[in-house]
A and B are shown apart, each in its own frame.
Chain A
Amino acid sequence: MMKEHQHYLSEMVKELKPSGIRKFFDLAASIKGVVSLGVGEPDFITPWSIREAAILSLEEGYTSYTANPGLLELRQEISSYLYRRFGVQYNPIDQVIVTVGASQAIDLTFRAILNPGDEVLIIEPAFVSYAPLVTLAGGKPIPVSTHHSNGFKLTPEQIENAITSRTKAILLCSPNNPTGTYLNKEELTNLAAVIEKHDLLVVSDEIYAELTYDEEYTSFASIEGMYERTILINGFSKGFAMTGWRLGFLAAPASFTEQMVKILQYTTMCAPHMLQHGAIEALRNTYHEVESMRRSYRRRRNYIVQSLNKIGLDCHTPGGAFYVFPSIKSTGMTSEQFAEELLLAEKVAVVPGSAFGESGEGYVRCSYATSLEQLQEAVKRMERFMSSLKLKETQAQEQYSNN
């Protein structure tokens, strides 16, 4: 960037920090033979019938715009899916919007609800884009830390402590990226009381809803009294293995969606037409494939959690998503140091927890969305890495006592 261009740029954008993952990506991408536990997307390719439906759609010439909130046929499928799976009812005509990824749904939401200075509680460790999206919409992200001691579960007290007169909304993500933490019905109900008390709006990112392994998923919108104050965000990326399609959706009371559709009209118009046909097929006919992927992730989760605990990387058993979030505090390193040394010494890529907020420091995110063979290899290398650290420690102690 030429220096003289600086004054053209928005101060707000200049102040945005680049994603902490980016730097690590550059390093990992420069090394050959890396076993990556750093990937935040399914290792499955989109089920063939979905791909086939999109191909057919192109062949049949569906290359025009669709309605701003998406094809009505798709919105109808989304509506019946949400009812079938989570027991929440949304009118496909005016309560459902198809978006370009769940990320756009979150962006639309913040733009539609935030006035300058409005505060949004972001539960950390958190997905990297929440806080910047709040900032870009003129709001103020307020981090709320959760802790390993209770499996990174958000408590009503933690919300209570962060509330100010400017708090407008809270962003919940369950199961969570990066911790994998899942909040069950009882835990959500406990949170609902505080949320109601302070009249907060809830932006519920449910993108990992299909990936819970021990309990049936509960949507926040299904919690008693919460429907009217919830903007439900979901999409096809994780459960249906469709990340690159960039197809998400949101469902909310019509007073919200009405405003959001205006933003859509002036920005992206609509999600790509032919891909929406793929999404229709996804919801109609591929649920058995979602279940089969879920079973596969569950096995790998069990494998990786126990394997990491065995080699001295303490981690809780996450209820969903495809991440484990082990503590690396026993090594005495920061999470960035750990990730970098592990990458250089053993060519295993993990993501430093600090990329997901302050409370992620001391942890690393390991994604198990990779083949069992890769996981086995990663565990082997990490075990070697951990023993080399212990060896160094012992040598240092011996040297110390010899002196």
Chain B
Amino acid sequence: MRLSGVELEVLSILEENHRIPVEDIALMVNSSAEDVTAVIKKLEDEKIIVSYPALIDWSKVAGKENIVAMIEVKVTPKRGVGFDEVAERIYRFPEVTSLYLMSGAFDLSITIEGKTMSEIASFVSEKLSTIDNVISTTTHFMLKKYKHDGVIFGESNDKDHRMVVSP
């Protein structure tokens, strides 16, 4: 779908921070709040804007640290539906937080979150490996998150060192 300049601007602003008031977005793109509301509605209806989650560093919250694993899965594609059917069987599990079809040595890349390593292990052995068409899995546990979705986690060194007034 081809979008107008204003629509692209709105997307780019929302992608950075979706909590900016519609009135302020309107000022930034030289438009009215009504028009921006309509643009956002359209982008939501078209599922171009899919959702508005917050990016949370759960590792800082006591008792909420999750174990994250990335799993490489080899699959036999199914005639007629290719990888889609088996992908659907997998992404419907709520513990699967992302799923991509990849080129290269394996087919599906899955990110999965659980409370404990054994939770993830049992998901892999009981749920994932047992799906027809899944040939093999390789599980990698994530040790530390440095950057996610373009955002650096933890303390950033990029502080404002500028003088308060300068020519």
Residues of A within 8 A of B (CB): 19, 21, 24-25, 28-29, 34, 36, 38-41, 43, 45, 127-129, 177, 295, 299-300, 302-303, 306-307, 349, 351, 372, 376
Contacts and interface: CB of A to CB of B under 8 A. Distances in A.
A28 B27 contact: no
Interface of B: 9, 12-13, 17, 20, 24, 27-30, 158, 160, 162-167
A302 B164 contact: no
A300 B27 CA distance: 9
A38 B158 CA distance: 20
Indicate the member of A24, A34, A40, A300 with the most B CB atoms within 10 Å.
A40
Nearest to B13: A299
Contacts of B28: 299-300, 302-303, 372
Indicate the member of A43, A303, A349 with the most B CB atoms within 10 Å.
A303
Nearest to A44: B158
A39 B163 contact: yes
A300 B158 CA distance: 21
Contacts of A36: 164-165
A39 B166 contact: yes
B30 A302 contact: yes
Indicate the member of B17, B20, B165, B166 with the most A CB atoms within 10 Å.
B165
25 contacts: A19-B167, A21-B165, A25-B164, A28-B164, A28-B165, A36-B164, A40-B166, A41-B162, A41-B166, A128-B167, A129-B167, A295-B9, A295-B12, A299-B13, A302-B30, A303-B24, A303-B27, A306-B30, A307-B27, A349-B164, A351-B165, A372-B17, A372-B24, A372-B28, A376-B24
B27 A306 contact: yes
Contacts of B164: 25, 28-29, 34, 36, 38-39, 349
Contacts, number: 61
B12 A43 contact: no
Contacts of A21: 165-167
Contacts of B158: 45
A25 B165 contact: yes
Given A25-B165, A295-B12, 9 more contacts: A19-B167, A36-B164, A39-B165, A41-B162, A295-B9, A299-B28, A307-B27, A349-B164, A372-B17
A302 B165 contact: no
A171 to B, nearest CB: 15
A31 B166 CA distance: 16
Contacts of A29: 163-165
A300 B13 CA distance: 11
Nearest to A307: B27
A349 B12 contact: no
Nearest to A127: B167
A323 to B, nearest CB: 11
A177 B166 CA distance: 12
B167 A40 contact: yes
A344 to B, nearest CB: 14
Contacts of A300: 28
A279 B163 CA distance: 23
A295 B167 CA distance: 23
A372 B20 CA distance: 9
Nearest to B28: A299
Contacts of B17: 372
Contacts of A306: 27, 30
A24 B9 CA distance: 36
B165 A38 contact: yes
A34 B163 CA distance: 12
Contacts of A25: 163-166
Contacts of A43: 160, 162
Nearest to A292: B12
B156 to A, nearest CB: 10
A43 B28 CA distance: 18
Contacts of B13: 299
A56 to B, nearest CB: 18
A130 to B, nearest CB: 11
Contacts of A28: 164-165
Contacts of A303: 24, 27-28
Indicate the member of A21, A39, A376 with the most B CB atoms within 10 Å.
A39
Given A372-B24, A376-B24, A299 B165 contact: no
A139 B30 CA distance: 45
Which 6 pairs from chain A and chain B are nearest by CB?
A38-B165, A299-B28, A25-B165, A303-B27, A40-B166, A306-B27
Contacts of B162: 39, 41, 43
B13 to A, nearest CB: 7
Nearest to B162: A39
A295 B29 CA distance: 11
